[in-house]
């Protein structure tokens, strides 16, 4: 699905990615983890073409993404901070994204799922953070793309919505889609992901299932496993 | 005076008996104007029928009335001067005179009037000329309803439309002069009236005064002449209700005043000239009820000009209203309307409560470095002008209109 | 690109600032025309306002819009859209909505005043065309500044500095240069100096209409050719177009290489 070879990226003097090699196979849920500043968001943005790498190659569905924008038709992306034009109404935003990406009818079902009907005619500037995030989720899931990238999807969600989101992710997985998630909520990661990719100082420190990680670090649970990697490396 | 002259004329005619009529045409006994003059007696009338008469050096040396019927053409074939009037009491009416000779040594004219009194030249059309009507040492003449259209290209080999030299009490009215060197030129000529003429597209000046006093010019239009109108070294002139328009160019102005004293300039319109009035060494002049509209400089004062007064004029949308090249001011500005005035009138008496300074610092800079004109209306320049206005350093500090009007003057 | 343009435009057309801008010009037009009742004077005052205010508003608004819509831009970047169309669309959205406010704000009072029967219509149209050009130029410059500066405060600082420089300081330096070298022929230098600053360029275009009498007072042959014929008008418009095209090209170039 996604192949990354020898990826380098620096912002000024700050080397963020230092030779990342990664290949993600079709189908399943992958969590990209790592401490703050380890390059998670940069990696995801590189896949999306928002960050231009200094070196290395990325291909999505077998197509090199350099100088191309059409491949993004095959990606649904949920950005970390959802901040929309404040003068637009929710309805108009949904209409606009459809206008930009092509039509779909999934939105009605999703709006119902997240109980967004009362907000459809409100301006985005007047919505709470949680509601904005729900709108964000609707925008992401309303298209039927083989690759879904979720950057901190749980931010600001109430428990009910969180449950619905998890259901939604599982459903997409059962449809055979590839899902890439970053999150700080370990329980969430543990619950949903099939495989994790652990980034540390711009390189891939670990890739495999959660069970593999536990074995490797000799820790009984996931959270401690992660913690042990961090303490070991920072000590 | 005029009455007594008319009386004299009648007396003379009575003395010589009945006036005869002499006819000239291509199939008549007399086929040229010269022959007719020889044949005619004093105070006869010569009638020239329609036709083309090739002739030059026609000398009218006796008091005759010569009338062209349906504009007969006298063609000088570029051989020299065409008509010369040397006698008093000559009337020339209704001719087309063309093809005056050009010479670098003699000023050939279509019609020359020499030492003649009481002449009348009217309804004459002059074309292809060197000088048009040249009046020397003659008085009490009338020149009206003539059309003088030259084809001057360069100043040195072209002549003037109507020229007066040592001639007094001449009336020049309702003429149209175009494409010559100077439209109307007066030198050493006093007490003349120049009225209702149009002088346009002349190479140098529309009207040119030198050493001529007590003259009046009014209701004339001077448009698009090479350098506008020049009035120099003269006294007690009256310039009333004339229009000076579209005189554009480096050394171009609506009117140039040089060494002019005690003149009245009233009711004139200066529109779209590079310089409206350019004043040098001119004193005790009254400028009143004039309108300065869309000029580069409405009034440019150079050199010593004392005791002039600018009262109740309208200064409208000029790039510069007044420009001085010195810090000294002895002239009065009062009750003018300035479209650039930005003050207020709190007591509603129609007079602005803040005096107006018509001289800007920028006009001083442009005088010094002409290229800076390209910065006209720049914000930087406005800021600079404003600070100069608050505390004048380069411009005359006593020059302001204490009573700038809020509404345009009407008259 | 047209879709982005459409949404940016609608977004801005609904924002408070567009209304404020529009209302300001409407008010200015009404005050100038109906309280003063002098069309020629109104055109001159408008000229002063346009060449100073339009660039200021264009830069500030451009920078502000860019920073405020940063997250939205990121959302768009994740969509299957070309980068150049995203940024050009946004740029045109801002520039066109500002131009609209200007043209309608000033146009409406003038039309009611009876502009179409007046001879000032050409001067007025020229003013609006110049104002539109200035909006296009300064919004593009603002986008350039914003694209090159992640730091919002720095970006605003540079935007204000740019305006100050082009609106005032440049002319000061220009004037000093001309006075310093007054012994040399300067007409070419002064024309080139004008071409290099879009505000001066627009001012010259308007001078051609309002102050032609004064401009023709200067001797230089180049000056005369420039101001005495249509040559000046044509060259000025070409230069203004270049002033639009260059920053826009840089937007395209810069946006292709930028990380978000």
* Chain A residues 25-54 with CB within 8 Å of chain C: 45, 48-52
**pLDDT tens-digit readout, B267-306:** 999 999 999 999 999 999 999 999 999 999 999 998 889 9
Distance in angstroms (rounded) separating the CA atoms of residues B274 and A185: 79
Q: Is A82 on the interface with C (CB under 8 A)?
A: yes
Distance in angstroms (rounded) separating the CA atoms of residues B347 and C8: 51
Angle formed by the axes of helices C187-195 and C198-210, nearest 10°: 120
Closest-CA residue in chain B for C221? B250
Helix (H, G, I), strand (E, B) or coil at C128: helix
In Å, what is the CA distance from A4 to each residue of A62, A75, A206, B362?
Answer: 11, 16, 15, 67
Adjacent-strand bridge partners of A78: A150
| pLDDT of res. B11 | 56
**pLDDT tens-digit readout, B21-79:** 888 988 888 889 999 999 999 999 999 999 999 999 999 999 999 999 999 999 999 98
**pLDDT tens-digit readout, B177-226:** 999 999 999 999 999 999 999 999 999 999 999 999 999 999 999 999 98
| pLDDT of res. B3 | 63
| pLDDT of res. B13 | 55
Distance in angstroms (rounded) separating the CA atoms of residues A210 and A198: 11
pLDDT band per the 50, 70, 90 thresholds, residue B9: low
Q: Nearest CA of chain A to the CA of C254: how many Å? A: 12
Section B98-120 average pLDDT: 91
* Domains of chain B listed by start with CATH number: 55-390 (2.160.20.10)
* Chain C residues 37-56 with CB within 8 Å of chain B: 38, 40-41, 44, 47-48, 51-52
Chain A residues with CB-CB distance to C71 below 8 A: 79, 81-84
Whether B233 contacts B208, CB under 8 Å: no
Chain C residues with CB-CB distance to A70 below 8 A: 80
Question: Which pTM value belongs to this model?
Answer: 0.82
Which residues are CB-neighbours of A125 under 8 A, at least 6 positions away?
Answer: A86, A87
Among candidates B273, B275, B375 on the partner chain, residue whose Cβ is nearest the Cβ of C171:
B375
Is A2-234 in CATH node 3.20.20.70? Answer: no
Candidates A67, A83, A95, A152, partner chain C, best to mutate (most C CBs within 10 A)? A83
What b/e readout covers B257-279, taking b as 16+ CB neighbours within 10 angstroms?
Answer: bbebbebebbbbbbbbbbbbbbb
Chain C residues with CB-CB distance to A75 below 8 A: 78
In chain A, domain spans: 2-234
CA-wise closest residue to C138 among C76, C206, C201, C74? C201
Could you count the other beta carbons within 10 Å of the beta carbon of residue B237?
22
Distance in angstroms (rounded) separating the CA atoms of residues A124 and A108: 18
Q: Is B387 on the interface with C (CB under 8 A)?
A: no
**pLDDT tens-digit readout, C205-215:** 888 878 887 88
Q: Is B369 on the interface with C (CB under 8 A)?
A: yes
**pLDDT tens-digit readout, A31-70:** 988 888 788 888 888 888 888 888 888 888 888 888 777 8
Q: What is the ipTM of this complex?
A: 0.87
Which residues are CB-neighbours of A178 under 8 A, at least 6 positions away?
Answer: A1, A2, A24, A25, A26, A27, A28, A30, A146, A147, A148
Distance in angstroms (rounded) separating the CA atoms of residues C7 and B342: 44
Helix (H, G, I), strand (E, B) or coil at B255: strand
Closest-CA residue in chain A for C70? A83
CA-wise closest residue to B135 among B112, B158, B107? B112
Output the DSSP codes for C4-70. Answer: HHHHHHHHHHTSHHHHHHHHHHHHHHHIIIIIT--HHHHHHHHHHHHHHHHHHHHHHHHHHHHHHTH
Q: Retrieve residue B184's tokens.
A: 């109307």
Q: Is C20 on the interface with B (CB under 8 A)?
A: no
Chain A residues with CB-CB distance to C11 below 8 A: 85, 87-88
Distance in angstroms (rounded) separating the CA atoms of residues B325 and B302: 6
Q: List chains touching C (3+ CB pairs under 8 A).
A: A, B
| pLDDT of res. B27 | 86
Q: What residue has token string 């022929």?
A: C185
Residue A219: burial class (beta carbons within 10 Å; 0-12, 13-18, 19+)? middle
Contact yes or no for C77 and A48 at CB 8 A: yes
pLDDT by 10-residue block (mean), chain A, 235 residues = 86 85 87 84 86 87 80 84 75 86 82 89 87 88 88 87 90 89 86 88 86 85 84 67
CA-wise closest residue to B411 among B273, B271, B268? B268
Closest-CA residue in chain A for C86? A100
Whether B254 contacts B276, CB under 8 Å: yes
Q: Nearest CA of chain A to the CA of C162: how many Å? A: 26
Closest-CA residue in chain C for B251? C217
CB pairs under 8 A between A and C: 66
């Amino acid at each position: 699905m996604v192949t990354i070879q020898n990826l380098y990226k620096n912002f000024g003097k700050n080397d963020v990615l230092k030779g990342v090699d990664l290949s993600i196979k079709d189908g399943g849920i992958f969590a990209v983890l790592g401490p703050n500043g380890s390059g998670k968001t940069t990696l995801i943005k590189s896949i999306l073409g928002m960050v231009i790498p200094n070196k290395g190659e990325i291909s999505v569905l077998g197509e090199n993404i350099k100088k191309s924008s059409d491949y993004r038709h095959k990606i649904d992306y949920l950005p970390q901070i959802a901040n929309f034009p404040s003068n637009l109404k929710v309805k108009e935003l949904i209409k606009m994204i459809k206008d930009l990406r092509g039509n779909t009818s999934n939105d009605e079902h999703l709006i119902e799922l997240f109980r967004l009907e009362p907000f459809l005619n409100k301006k985005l500037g007047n919505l709470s953070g949680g509601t904005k995030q729900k709108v964000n989720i609707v925008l992401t899931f309303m298209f039927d793309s083989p690759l879904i990238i979720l950057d901190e999807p749980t931010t600001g969600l109430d428990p009910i919505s969180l449950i619905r989101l998890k259901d939604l992710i599982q459903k997409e997985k059962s449809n055979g889609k590839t899902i890439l998630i970053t999150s700080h909520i370990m329980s969430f990661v543990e619950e949903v992901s099939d495989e994790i990719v652990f980034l540390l100082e711009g390189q891939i420190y670990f890739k495999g299932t959660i069970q593999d990680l536990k074995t490797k670090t000799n820790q009984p649970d996931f959270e401690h496993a992660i913690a042990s990697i961090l303490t070991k490396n920072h000590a | 005076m005029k009455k007594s002259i008319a009386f004299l004329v009648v007396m003379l005619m009575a003395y010589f008996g009945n006036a005869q009529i002499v006819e000239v045409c291509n199939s008549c006994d007399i086929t040229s104007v010269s022959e007719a003059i020889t044949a005619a007696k004093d105070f006869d009338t010569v009638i020239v029928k329609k036709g083309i008469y090739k002739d030059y050096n026609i000398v009218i040396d006796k008091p005759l009335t010569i009338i062209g019927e349906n504009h007969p053409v006298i063609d000088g074939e570029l051989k020299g001067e065409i008509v010369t009037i040397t006698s008093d009491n000559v009337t020339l009416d209704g001719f087309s005179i063309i093809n005056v000779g050009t010479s670098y040594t003699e000023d050939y004219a279509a019609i020359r009037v020499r030492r003649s009194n009481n002449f009348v030249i009217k309804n004459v059309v002059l074309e292809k000329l060197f000088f048009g009507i040249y009046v020397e040492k003659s008085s009490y003449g009338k020149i009206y309803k003539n059309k003088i259209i030259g084809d001057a290209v360069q100043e040195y080999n072209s002549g003037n439309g109507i020229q007066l030299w040592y001639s007094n009490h001449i009336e020049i009215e309702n003429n149209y002069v175009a494409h010559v060197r100077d439209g109307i030129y007066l030198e050493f000529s006093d007490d003349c009236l120049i009225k209702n003429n149009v002088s346009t597209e002349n190479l140098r000046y529309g009207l040119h005064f030198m050493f001529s006093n007590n003259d009046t010019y009014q209701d004339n239009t001077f448009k698009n002449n090479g350098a506008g109108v020049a009035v120099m070294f003269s006294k007690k002139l009256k310039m009333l209700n004339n229009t000076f328009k579209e005189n554009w160019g480096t050394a171009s102005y609506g009117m140039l005043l040089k060494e002019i004293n005690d003149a009245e300039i009233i009711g004139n319109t200066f529109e779209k000239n590079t310089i409206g009035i350019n004043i040098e060494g001119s004193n005790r002049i009254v400028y009143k009820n004039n309108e300065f509209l869309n000029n580069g400089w409405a009034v440019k004062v150079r050199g010593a000009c004392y005791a002039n007064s600018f009262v109740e004029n309208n200064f409208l949308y000029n790039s510069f209203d007044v420009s001085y090249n010195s810090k000294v001011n002895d002239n009065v500005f009062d009750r003018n309307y300035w479209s650039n005035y930005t003050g207020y009138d709190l007591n509603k008496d129609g007079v602005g409560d803040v005096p107006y300074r018509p001289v800007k610092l920028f006009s001083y800079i442009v005088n010094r470095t002409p290229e800076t004109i390209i910065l006209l209306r720049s914000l930087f320049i406005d800021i600079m002008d404003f600070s100069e206005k608050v505390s004048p350093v380069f411009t005359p500090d006593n020059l302001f209109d204490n009573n700038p009007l809020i509404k345009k003057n009407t008259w | 690109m047209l879709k982005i343009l459409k949404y940016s435009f609608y977004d801005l057309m609904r924002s408070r600032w567009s209304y404020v801008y529009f209302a300001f010009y409407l008010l200015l037009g009404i005050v100038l025309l109906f309280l003063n009742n002098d069309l020629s004077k109104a055109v001159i005052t408008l000229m002063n306002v346009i060449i100073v205010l339009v660039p200021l508003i264009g830069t500030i608004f451009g920078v502000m819009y860019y920073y405020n819509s940063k997250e939205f831009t990121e959302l768009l970047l994740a969509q299957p859209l070309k980068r150049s169309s995203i940024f050009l669309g946004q740029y045109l959205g801002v520039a066109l909505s500002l131009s609209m406010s200007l043209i309608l704000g000033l146009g409406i009072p003038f039309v009611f005043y009876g502009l179409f029967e007046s001879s000032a219509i050409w001067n007025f149209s020229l003013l609006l065309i110049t104002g539109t050009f200035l909006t296009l130029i300064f919004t593009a410059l603002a986008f350039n500044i914003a694209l090159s500066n992640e730091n919002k405060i720095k970006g605003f600082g540079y935007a204000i500095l740019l305006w100050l420089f082009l609106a005032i300081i440049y002319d000061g330096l220009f004037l000093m240069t001309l006075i310093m070298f007054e012994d040399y022929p300067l007409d070419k230098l002064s024309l080139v100096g004008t071409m290099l600053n879009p505000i001066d360029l627009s001012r010259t275009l308007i001078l051609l209409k309002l102050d032609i009498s004064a401009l023709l007072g200067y001797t230089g042959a180049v000056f005369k050719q420039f101001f005495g014929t249509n040559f000046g008008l044509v060259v000025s418009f070409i230069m203004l177009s270049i002033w639009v095209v260059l920053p826009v090209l840089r937007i395209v170039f810069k946006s292709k290489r930028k990380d978000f």
